[in-house]
Amino acid sequence: TQLLEQSPQFLSIQEGENLTVYCNSSSVFSSLQWYRQEPGEGPVLLVTVVTGGEVKKLKRLTFQFGDARKDSSLHITAAQPGDTGLYLCAGARNNFNKFYFGSGTKLNVKP
């Protein structure tokens, strides 16, 4: 059983559409990170959130950390083919160096 559950597992949309992916847990996290991974490469960090209720924006990407620090969401506005990839959330609990990764959301944006 994964400590962090991500949904949906797969998402295929047209260019220009909006989407939201979710990262949920019954555990509280001291910090949460979002990564994007492309085929044949390692994950690349997008953002870190540490405060309950925190919202961070990265161009067309909006990240939110739940008030109780148990969940997070990633919203993409006007998706582009370059957004295609595997999106992973990772949370750290008491051990700030040990991150638990979710199973990921595989996003495909069609031109």
Q: Which two tokens stand for residue 43?
A: 């994950």
Interaction of residue 108 with other proteins, rule CB under 8 A: no
Among positions 11, 23, 74, 88, the unique one binding other proteins when judged by CB under 8 A: 88
Residues in contact with 17: Cβ distance below 8 Å, sequence separation at least 6, in sequence order: 78, 79, 109
Among positions 11, 21, 25, 43, the unique one binding other proteins when judged by CB under 8 A: 43
Minimum distance from CB of 95 to other proteins (Å)?
7
Instruction: Report phi then psi at 85, rounded to 5.
Output: 160, -175
Could you give the CA distance from residue 14 to residue 24 in angstroms, rounded to a whole number?
26
Interaction of residue 96 with other proteins, rule CB under 8 A: yes
Among positions 104, 105, 107, 109, the unique one binding other proteins when judged by CB under 8 A: 104
Eight-class DSSP state of 85 = E
Minimum distance from CB of 88 to other proteins (Å)?
7
Minimum distance from CB of 87 to other proteins (Å)?
12
Could you give the CA distance from residue 72 to residue 49 in angstroms, rounded to a whole number?
9
Eight-class DSSP state of 39 = T
- What residues make contact with other proteins under the rule CB under 8 A? 2, 31, 33, 40-45, 48, 50, 88, 90, 92, 95-104
